[in-house]
């Protein structure tokens, strides 16, 4: 189960949507680059050091220009998108000290707001790649799209997309799940129960529990209770733990010569060993052990009635509780896997309101998750 934070890069009020980019942390990152590019140039001008060969002047000059360009872009670049739902217009600006581009247009070319699930790959310098996920929010029309923002947290993206759709009075197409869900702007606050009653759509016949089901099912008064056990030890958990152990062994082997050197200086030996153990070894082991402990111990108790959905997550030491009243529950579905290229990572059951998102049952077989989703829909929408 996860309950995530709220995006702060978007401002929505008074029928307007404003998105700002640049500044903040990017400025802090950019200033060192800018200094590394400017200081050598200033030193050359002041005669603090000299270069004999002409090609060295060219090389130093190119490096300084690269650092200045990167630092200047990070420090001074600013982006803004202003969408006015009252005048039905939008305007995009990009500047680095001075305006570089300034464009705009009419909102009439767009007929909906969309939020999608996107998996991207970033190539590393060693020839490998890293996969990451974001959730772009866009305005879409028959011939054109306009990107608004790309949160990397699902709940933030869905919340921001809903706010944009309400403000601009456009339908919202949510493509973050296995099927596209389209809702009209005036019905975005409609609960799942209200939507079922309005459309007359029923969740379908309650199927028999799948063979070999891990979840325990019982009825307590007006509540249906589902006990979802831990995933147990798996190959994926073993891989996490093995990587932690291999990294630890590598650190120890790589630092043997350093340890031997320090052993001859007793005043530093104790401090160095403590620092090495705490920083280089224990933290990495903990990072490897944490997913294993979560996989082996984390279990869920799902209580559902005609009034609420209540989920308790219990780990080895701590427990967390989240609850959504039925009248606020807007979505209940099985999400997409976070990374399409990780077949071992399965998709959770997701329940969402405007204030809370709950995820559970990620490790269960697909048939079992489908059965749980149908049971929850029956209780929540009757």
Reduce the DSSP state of residue 125 to 3 states and report it. coil
Rounded to whole angstroms, the Cα distance separating 228 from 312 reads 10
For 344, the token pair is 């071992």
Here the tokens at position 370 are 């489908």
253 and 220 within one domain? no
Residue 11 lies in a domain: no
- Is the Cβ–Cβ distance between 259 and 281 less than 8 Å? no
What was the pLDDT predicted at 147? 92
* 272 lies in the same domain as 305: no
Judge whether 174 and 154 are in contact, CB under 8 Å: no
Contacts 24+ apart (CB under 8 A), 353-357: 353/324, 353/325, 353/328, 353/329, 354/159, 354/162, 354/189, 354/328, 354/330, 355/328, 356/3, 356/322, 356/323, 356/324, 357/2, 357/3, 357/4, 357/154, 357/155, 357/158
Domain at 305, CATH number: 2.30.29.30
Q: How many domains does the chain have?
A: 2
Q: What is the distance between the alpha carbons of residues 245 and 308, in angstroms, rounded to a whole number?
A: 44
Q: What is the DSSP letter of 230?
A: P
Asked whether residue 289 is domain-assigned, the answer is: yes
> Which tokens is 69 given?
């360009």
Which pLDDT does position 343 carry in this prediction?
Answer: 43
Q: Cβ distance 354 to 189 under 8 Å?
A: yes
- If asked whether residues 304 and 375 sit together in one domain, one would say yes
Residue 227's pLDDT is 95
269 and 356 housed in the same domain: no
Composition of the chain by helix, strand, coil, percent to 5? 40, 30, 30
Q: How far apart are CA 255 and CA 262, in angstroms?
A: 11
Confirm if 178 and 186 have CB atoms less than 8 A apart: no
223 and 240 assigned to the same domain = no
Q: Are both 221 and 241 inside the same structural domain?
A: no
For residue 47, how many other CB atoms are within 10 A of its CB?
A: 7
| Domain identity same for 342 and 220 | yes
| Residues 221 and 355 both lie in one domain | yes
What is the predicted pLDDT for the residue at 34? 77
Pair (311, 350) in one structural domain: yes
pLDDT recorded at residue 132: 78
> How far is Cα 85 from Cα 239, in angstroms, rounded to an integer?
50
Structure tokens at 204: 């379908």
By the 10 Å C-beta count (0-12 exposed, 13-18 middle, 19+ buried), 106 is classed as exposed
Cα–Cα distance measured from residue 201 to residue 192, given in angstroms and rounded to the nearest whole number: 11
Calpha distance 98→112 (Å, rounded): 33
- Structure confidence at residue 53 (pLDDT): 58
Distance CA 291, CA 328 (A): 32
Positive or negative: CA dihedral 177, 183, 188, 190 = negative
pLDDT value for 8: 46
pTM of the model: 0.64
My answer on whether 288 and 307 are in the same domain is: no
Of 209, 210, 214, give the one whose Cα is nearest residue 231: 214
Domain that holds residue 343: 216-230+298-381
| One domain for residues 345 and 240 | no
Mean pLDDT by 10 residues, the chain (382 residues): 45 89 71 78 67 65 81 80 93 82 91 91 56 89 92 88 93 87 89 85 74 91 92 66 65 59 59 59 61 78 94 88 93 75 66 90 90 91 80
Among 243, 278, 296, where does a domain finish?
296
């Amino acid at each position: 189960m996860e309950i995530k934070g709220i995006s702060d890069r978007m401002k929505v009020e008074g029928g307007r949507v404003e998105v700002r980019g640049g500044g903040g942390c990017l400025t802090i990152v950019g200033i060192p680059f800018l200094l590394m590019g400017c200081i050598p140039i200033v030193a050359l001008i002041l005669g603090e050091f000299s270069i004999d060969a002409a090609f060295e002047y060219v090389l130093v000059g190119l490096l300084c220009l690269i650092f200045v360009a990167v630092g200047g872009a990070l420090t001074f670049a600013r982006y803004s998108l202003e969408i006015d739902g009252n005048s039905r217009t939008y305007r995009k600006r990009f500047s680095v000290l001075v305006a570089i581009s300034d464009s705009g247009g009419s909102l009439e070319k767009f007929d909906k707001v969309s939020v999608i699930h996107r998996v991207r790959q970033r190539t590393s310098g060693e020839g490998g790649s890293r996969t990451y996920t974001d959730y772009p929010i866009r305005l879409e029309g028959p011939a054109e799209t306009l990107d608004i923002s790309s949160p990397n947290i699902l709940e933030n993206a869905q919340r921001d997309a809903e706010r944009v759709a309400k403000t601009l009075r456009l339908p919202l197409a949510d493509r973050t799940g296995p099927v596209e869900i389209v809702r009209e702007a005036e019905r975005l606050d409609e609960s799942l129960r209200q939507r079922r009653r309005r459309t007359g759509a029923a969740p379908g016949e309650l199927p028999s529990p799948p063979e070999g089901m891990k979840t325990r099912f019982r009825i307590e008064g007006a509540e249906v209770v589902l006990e979802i056990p831990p995933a147990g030890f798996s190959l994926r958990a073993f891989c996490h733990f093995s990587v932690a152990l291999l990294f630890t062994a590598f650190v120890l082997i790589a630092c043997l010569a350093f340890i031997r050197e320090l052993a001859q200086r007793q005043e530093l030996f104790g401090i160095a060993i403590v620092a090495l153990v705490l920083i280089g070894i224990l933290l990495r082991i903990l990072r490897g052990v944490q997913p294993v402990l979560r996989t082996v111990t984390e279990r869920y108790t799902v209580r559902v009635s005609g009034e609420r959905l209540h989920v308790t997550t219990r780990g080895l030491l701590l427990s967390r509780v989240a609850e959504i009243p039925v009248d606020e529950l807007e979505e209940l579905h099985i999400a997409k896997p976070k990374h399409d290229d990780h077949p071992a990572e399965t998709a959770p059951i997701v329940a969402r309101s405007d204030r809370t998102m709950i995820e559970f049952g990620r490790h269960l077989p697909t048939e079992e998750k489908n059965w749980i989703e149908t049971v929850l829909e029956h209780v929540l929408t009757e």
